Structure 1
Amino acid sequence: MTAQGLDYLLARLGLVEDRIRALVARRRADDPSMDDPFRGLYVNDELVDRLLSGQAHTAVVDETALAALERSADEYIAEGNVIRLRRLAAVAGLTALDTELLVIALLPDLDSRFERLYGYLNDDVTRRRPSVGLALELAGASSMSSVARGRLTASGPLVDRGLLIVEDPERPFLTRAIRVPDRVAAHLLGDDLPDHRLVPMLEELTAYKTDASADLGRSLAAGVRLVHLREHEAGTGQSIAAAALAAAGRGVVAVDLRLMARDSDPLGLAVIAGREALLQHAGLVVGPVEALAESSLESLHRLSRWEVPVLFIGTTTWDPRWSPETPLTVDAPVLGAHDRIELWREHLQESELDPEILASHLALGPGQVRNVFKTAAASALLAGTAITADDLRRGVRAQNAAGLERLARRIEPEVGWDDLVLAPAVRRALQGLAARARHRDTVLTDWRMRRGGGRGRGVTALFAGDSGTGKTMSAEVIATELGLDLYTVNLATVVDKYVGETEKNLERIFSEAGGVNAVLFFDEADAIFGKRSDVRDAHDRYANIESAYLLQRLESFDGLAILATNLRANIDDAFTRRLDAIIDFPAPTPDLRLRLWQQCLAPPLPLGDDLDLPFCAEAFELAGGNIRSASVSAAYLAAESGQPVRMADVIAAVGQEYRKLGRLVLEREFGQYYALLDGPTLG
């Protein structure tokens, strides 16, 4: 706070002190009980004289001097400077009487002498705040004036805007105490720290300048007060709101309405949030609006009534019940691939990392990108190196909300293309799927190749093949290629015997996945994406309703979803039409089985000299998953014997795998190694 601003405040306080002196003198002259030994309880006349004659902390000025100070303040403000009391009065719509009442209530917080003086004037030493009646008297207003009294009611600007608190509601109106909240007093003295109750829900926003933010900034500067920014990607609306407020010459107070909704007093927090925007000459950016609308519609109404610009962030259409006034609705633009690359390039600066490979497919808003680089910088600092692509991928994963983990199992991918043993045609199809996911923003957003119908920007694929043919591992490889996590949906948490519950569970999964950069993997997908049947009873009708819902929800999904099934024929044809790719996983040929055996039985696993892997590949028609399972069993047998993995261990493990599959162990298949089946086995 400038010295000029403080001098102005002290001068206003000095005028009130003069009025207190005059009122004390008048009380003494008119008081018939001056000799009462209990006058003012423990505050006697001698003490009052001493308090009034002591060194004052405020300048003593008369009305003429104050008028001169006001002219000086006008000149100071005209030069582009700020006097906080004057600015607060202007933005809060305070009259001269309001400002006078605010200063009167502020005195005890700035000079402790006035606590005891107010106690004397209240004729009660325990009441050290000015009463309504005393404040009106000191301000030169009649306590019989309905206009003057109305300035201190709940509908008056002082109380309504949280600048003044009227206490003791059980008392008669004129004897109720008034006080200034600590945050307001601190602000007038130059403190910019926000209210402690608001701090946990304040958000730091990254301004993102676009044509939309420039247009919105002009609207705000022209007087538009209430805005609904509907965003299609988390964080984009907030960043555009911050840029628009900056363009309009305003600061930003951004509040997370999810945390406000969980508080026991959301209405009180709505007042604190709006007051903070008033004090900081800022606009309110609050969202998601749907979170507060569900729990406290009254709080939402209160937020919409502030005189500062209020920008609500949400994902749904504005509901007229949310506010008495209809806001200006603006759709936040969806970032295209070029936008994302440029956003990342700003942070990468001189780095040699390629933003096109790292970021073009990631649905991250400007604020999330900032957090990605903060996390990556911390990771690089721990390793003592410059920021790497792996650091950035860890930063991306750190932005994923934890809500999806309650509904699906999170897997951090650890395998790549080199670990995948598949036919060349299948590998090419998988690489095409990864390319589709990487360039979807370019094709669907920049080139606008998907218009209308409420279709999402997601990519969906079906992996069809027998168990163990590599469907899950392929999904993990694609997640690795894109730098994403893999979430496998547990069908036990989805399918419910009660009508409508399965759809609700799936909606929660899709909603959570919509805000997460991840690959969503539905194993055994035919259980919930199966064919619709003829309606013979109520069960068939509800099963078909469930399938119809899934058809619509899958089409509007914005993420990357992979469905896996052992029986492609079980998937409804209507689903396959909506899929971007269908990839069949055939059983491996002998040459692929040999590569699988060689990959599974490789160092650091100790290997014996008698291993005959070509025989295993040719003789045993096993899928990749079964080969891996047999290899693990052979490793356990070797560990138990304390020797390297021998052919006997492999044959015994294959025999166990055959029995698990329900297949006969025939001598013609095991050939010369059939006798080794009598060796040790795992229980």
Structure 2
Amino acid sequence: MTADESLAHLRGRLALTGQRVSRAVAERAAREPGRIADPYRGLYIDDDLANALLTSAPRGPLPGDPAERARLAAVEEAADRAERAGARIRLRSLAGEFGLTALDTDILLTALIPDLDARFERLYGYLHDDVAARRATIGLALELNGRDPADGAARSRFSGTAPLRAGRLLEVEDTQRPFLTRVLRVPDRITAYLLGDDQPGAELAPFARPSTRPAAEAPGTVRALARRVAALLTAAPCALHLHGNDTAGESALAAMGRPALLVGLPALLTQPRAAALAEEAVREARLTGAGMVVGPVQGDISPEAGRVLTVLMSAASHLPVVFTGPDDWDSRWCAEPPLSVRVPPLTPAERSALWRAELNGQACTVDLPPDAMDAYRLGAEDIRRAVRTAARYAALDGGPVRPAQLRAGVRATAGARLRRLARRVEPAVDWADLVVDDATRQLLRELATRARHRDRVLGEWAMRPGGGRGRAVCALFAGESGTGKTLAAEVIAADLGLDLYVVNLAGVVDKYIGETEKNLQRVFDEADALNAVLLFDEADALFGKRSEVDDAHDRYANIETAYLLQRMEAFDGIAILTTNLAAHIDPAFTRRLDVRITFSAPDQTQRTVLWERCLRPGLPRDPEVDLARLAQDFPMTGGSIHACAVTAAYRAAGENRAVTMADLLDAIRGEFRKLGRLVLEEDFRNRDSRALTASAFRGGTHAGTHGLG
């Protein structure tokens, strides 16, 4: 009923505009009776017409019609009754929201009528004396609405700062033409709105959408802050920046009784006309009575991004505008900064409630341990995306949502942002695959316990030290190559149900000053959100000791190390550093480590287990292969044992037979040469396993523990 009454009001007002056009046509026909029958009228100017133009007075405004006032009063009285009954009259809402005067509304209707009634295209062509001029011009709009073309106040209604154009309700085309002959056009979105369409225009779809999240879904701490923010925005409209949570803005607008238009800033900035599209997004929010939630605002801002932020910031005088992002507001982003408010982080209980609410909302079967979601410290919007993706994976597999689908959903949502700077490893191992002594295993389990319960210990129990330190769990795995450091990191990630991301040093380290720090910041920021296990392999390359400053290179190398020290302090994720050269790590990093584990080479018993693990059950093996003798006579790390097993398997596969002792001995000899260890050929001539002795190699021996790293 509301839509019918709004449309009836629009039709009534357009009918009045149509009557003005009819009077103007009649007046023109009376003034030029000879030309109305000319079939080529408007296509040429003859001598008689030129003389008439020179001798006649300028055409003035259309005289008023006393009866029109009564008809207008009747139309508006009907609209008053409809509004008192609760109807929404869209033309009136538009005029009120954008501050249109009565003349502005008449101009808008004059420009709009050809889009709704094709007859007026030809009538406008007649009035313009130009068959190609089928839209209203500024001069015609002034004439039809009873204003003198020389009236400065009336002409100012077409300026770029006047409500019609500043609000993008009216476009003035052909600006190179004389002022009075410039063409007026009403954007299609305004026409659709007046006809009852509340769907955003297609040009906004890539970066903007209405919020569909009920206010009740927000966590308790966020709702409490949202109520205070809503009171502030209601009392004193201003631009607001909420950092630390991606749902607080929607909750604040919901508390004000307003819908939210969500604007993805990164997606908007990829559009060719970003600033103009930002103005269209502002117009859309004003049309629908919504507030705007814009974000995330972060990182370096380009000049174009600065212009977009300025457009959005200026909209705060008309509607609530809330910026969101993980960072504090940078004064370089915009000349006039918004009011910046820190949103408290979600508690584990609130985050868990969000996970379960989203899973229930998907109406999917769930088979998850109680703490399956605790490992993922995502924001509310990322949780929503992850659950939707997990539900689709579960539907594809034909079963309930399990941890594997949940991990896939999280990875699809947040993991892509890390892929340029880090390589993802999906853990496929567990504690049984790790061959280490009991002391090392205990330290590794303590590390996993720290990671699993850090929110409770550092958050709920307030055991975190001051100084703005994060909730990171950092460990250093030291030991020679092949002793299982990387495998241990993968086991930790698997135990926590997380992915392992190995930082790509080639992608992080940059020859240009300052770029390495920026890349590292991206790595840490994304790892914070994803809550993945971040692995810095060969960490001494980044975390090396600071040196005396002899030249500019030393100075900037020290700056990189200092930045890492600061960023590690504020890190909230899980980081594991591995190195073969623990003595080269800066002592300041050592102090910041939660756990330090030294990996040494396996002893004989562990080497036997490693040989058994590396020669997989599916691998055909000659019965004469003596793994105990290999373990006794050839002290090697787990990595070397694995390499020998693979080499022997390839040799056997090439000859389509089982792996023999000779294959393994040849592989060991090749491995020793690769490692630069002395090999005496006579010691390998007799390949009978019973003749093997420890003299088969010359080189340092190893002792300790292992995995397959």
TM over 0.5: yes
**Shift in CA distance, 291/80, structure 1 to aligned 2, threshold 3 Å:** farther
Partner letter of residue 284 of structure 2?
Answer: E
Contact 2:378 2:530 in 1 (8 A): no
Partner letter of residue 480 of structure 1?
Answer: A
Aligned to 2:327: 316
Contact 1:335 1:445 in 2 (8 A): no
Taking only aligned residues, the RMSD between alpha carbons, in angstroms, comes to 2.8
Aligned to 2:230: 217
Note the C-alpha offset of 1:590. 2.0
Contact 2:367 2:400 in 1 (8 A): no
Partner letter of residue 30 of structure 2?
Answer: A
Contact 1:379 1:391 in 2 (8 A): yes
The percentage of counterpart residues that share the same residue type is 49
Note the C-alpha offset of 1:65. 3.7
Between 532-541 and 120-129, report the one with greater CA deviation. 532-541
Aligned to 1:119: 125
Aligned to 2:280: 272
**Shift in CA distance, 401/180, structure 1 to aligned 2, threshold 3 Å:** farther
Aligned to 1:47: none
Aligned to 1:53: none
Alignment of 1:282-361 (within 5 A): 282-290=290-298, 293-296=301-304, 297-306=306-315, 307-319=318-330, 322=333, 325-349=336-360, 353-354=367-368, 356-361=370-375
Contact 1:169 1:176 in 2 (8 A): yes
Q: Secondary structure at the match of 2:446?
A: helix
**Which of 578, 583, 586 is matched with 2:597 structurally?**
583
Q: Count the aligned residue pairs.
A: 656
Cα distance in structure 2, aligned partners of 1:558 and 1:585: 26
Q: Per-residue CA shift, 1:511-559, capped at 9, x if unaligned?
A: 4444434222111111221122334455444433332222112222332
Partner letter of residue 522 of structure 1?
Answer: F
Q: Does 1:82 align with 2:88?
A: yes
**Shift in CA distance, 219/451, structure 1 to aligned 2, threshold 3 Å:** farther
Query: Could you tell me the TM-score, scaled by structure 2's length?
Result: 0.86
Cα distance in structure 2, aligned partners of 1:652 and 1:35: 106
Q: Per-residue CA shift, 1:224-253, capped at 9, x if unaligned?
A: 24211223xxxx32x221222122121222
**Which of 626, 629, 642 is matched with 1:612 structurally?**
626
**Which of 624, 628, 651 is matched with 2:642 structurally?**
628
Q: Secondary structure at the match of 1:652?
A: helix
Contact 2:375 2:497 in 1 (8 A): no
Q: Per-residue CA shift, 1:252-280, capped at 9, x if unaligned?
A: 22122223223232221121111111122
Q: Secondary structure at the match of 1:359?
A: coil
Q: Does 1:180 align with 2:208?
A: no
Note the C-alpha offset of 1:40. 4.2
Aligned to 2:15: 14
Partner letter of residue 288 of structure 2?
Answer: Q
Q: Per-residue CA shift, 1:339-361, capped at 9, x if unaligned?
A: 21111121334966456522223
**Shift in CA distance, 152/451, structure 1 to aligned 2, threshold 3 Å:** farther
Q: Does 1:597 align with 2:622?
A: no
Q: Per-residue CA shift, 1:611-665, capped at 9, x if unaligned?
A: 2222222332211111111111221222233222222222222222222222234
**Shift in CA distance, 435/96, structure 1 to aligned 2, threshold 3 Å:** farther
Between 618-627 and 536-545, report the one with greater CA deviation. 536-545
Partner letter of residue 213 of structure 1?
Answer: A
Contact 2:367 2:401 in 1 (8 A): no
Alignment of 1:394-433 (within 5 A): 394-433=408-447
Alignment of 1:121-520 (within 5 A): 121-203=127-209, 205=211, 206=213, 208-209=217-218, 210=222, 211-231=224-244, 236-237=245-246, 239-290=247-298, 293-296=301-304, 297-306=306-315, 307-319=318-330, 322=333, 325-349=336-360, 353-354=367-368, 356-450=370-464, 452-496=466-510, 500-520=514-534
**Shift in CA distance, 132/338, structure 1 to aligned 2, threshold 3 Å:** same
Query: Could you tell me the TM-score, scaled by structure 1's length?
Result: 0.89
Contact 1:5 1:82 in 2 (8 A): yes
Contact 2:243 2:327 in 1 (8 A): yes
Where structure 1 has 5 or more consecutive residues not aligned to the other structure, the ranges are 44-60, 679-683
Contact 1:228 1:329 in 2 (8 A): yes
Cα distance in structure 2, aligned partners of 1:339 and 1:437: 19
Note the C-alpha offset of 1:180. 0.3
Contact 2:13 2:75 in 1 (8 A): no
Contact 2:210 2:260 in 1 (8 A): no
Partner letter of residue 402 of structure 1?
Answer: A
Partner letter of residue 186 of structure 1?
Answer: A
Q: Secondary structure at the match of 1:255?
A: strand
Q: Secondary structure at the match of 1:361?
A: coil
Cα distance in structure 2, aligned partners of 1:242 and 1:355: 31
Cα distance in structure 1, aligned partners of 2:441 and 2:77: 80
Note the C-alpha offset of 1:364. 1.1
Where structure 2 has 5 or more consecutive residues not aligned to the other structure, the ranges are 45-66, 697-709
Partner letter of residue 386 of structure 1?
Answer: P
Aligned to 1:657: 671
**Shift in CA distance, 494/555, structure 1 to aligned 2, threshold 3 Å:** same
Partner letter of residue 9 of structure 1?
Answer: L
**Which of 532, 547, 553 is matched with 2:561 structurally?**
547
Aligned to 2:588: 574
Partner letter of residue 13 of structure 2?
Answer: R
Partner letter of residue 183 of structure 1?
Answer: R
Partner letter of residue 369 of structure 1?
Answer: I
Q: Does 1:557 align with 2:557?
A: no
**Shift in CA distance, 26/291, structure 1 to aligned 2, threshold 3 Å:** farther
Contact 2:110 2:141 in 1 (8 A): yes
Partner letter of residue 376 of structure 2?
Answer: L
Note the C-alpha offset of 1:379. 1.0
